[in-house]
Amino acid sequence: MNYLDKYIEKIKALSDLTRIRILKLLLEVNNELCVCEITDALGENQYKISKHMRVLKNAKLVRERREGKWVIYSIIPDTGMLEKNLFNIVKLFEGEIFEQDKLRLKARLSLRVKNKCVIGMDDERWKQKIKELKWEVRNA
């Protein structure tokens, strides 16, 4: 694969709204996120998120590491100029869907213990948290 093919692969990785939403969350938190945190924050199923994470990983935009049963993702640091420009474009995206993602992620991260994810996807504690969040938004 030549360098142009690698560039095209990175650009193609941004051709899907779900992948843009994932990258935007990772860029905004500037930290690692567990796949279950991403899944809950976006309100999508794990299969769909894992499929999109694979595309982002293959495009060398995110990296993956395992910690016990948890799969943790982060933006690849020290990237080249193309990646930095693509990330800057992702940061420009605005809209209600991105605001909702951000609110849900903030609520999901509040369930961490010692800055680590300790509950899986769709846990009862998350379900309670999301009910509280919906109540707060409705009554704001």
Q: What is the pLDDT of residues 33-44, one digit of tens each?
A: 999 999 999 999
| Number of structural domains found in the chain | 1
pLDDT at position 108 over 90: yes
Dihedral class, residue 115 (left if φ above 0, else alpha if ψ from -120 to 50, else beta): left
Q: What is the pLDDT of residue 6?
A: 85
Beta bridge partners of 75: 62
CB atoms within 10 A of CB 56: 23
Share of the chain above pLDDT 70, in %: 95
**Enclosing domain of residue 23:** 3-138
What CATH number does residue 49 fall under? 1.10.10.10
Exposed (0-12), middle (13-18) or buried (19+): which is 33, by Cβ within 10 Å? buried
Q: What is the pLDDT of residue 127?
A: 87
pLDDT-derived band at 136 (thresholds 50, 70, 90) equals: low
**CA–CA distance, 14 with 9 (Å, rounded to integer):** 9
For residue 5, give every residue at least 6 positions away whose Cβ sits within 8 Å of its Cβ, in sequence order, or none: none
- pTM (two decimals): 0.91
Segment 49-94, tens digit of pLDDT: 999 999 999 999 999 999 988 999 999 987 889 999 999 999 999 9
In the chain, count H helices and then E strands: 7, 3
Residues 102, 94 contacting (CB under 8 angstroms)? no
Higher pLDDT: 1 or 82? It is 82
Beta bridge partners of 64: 73
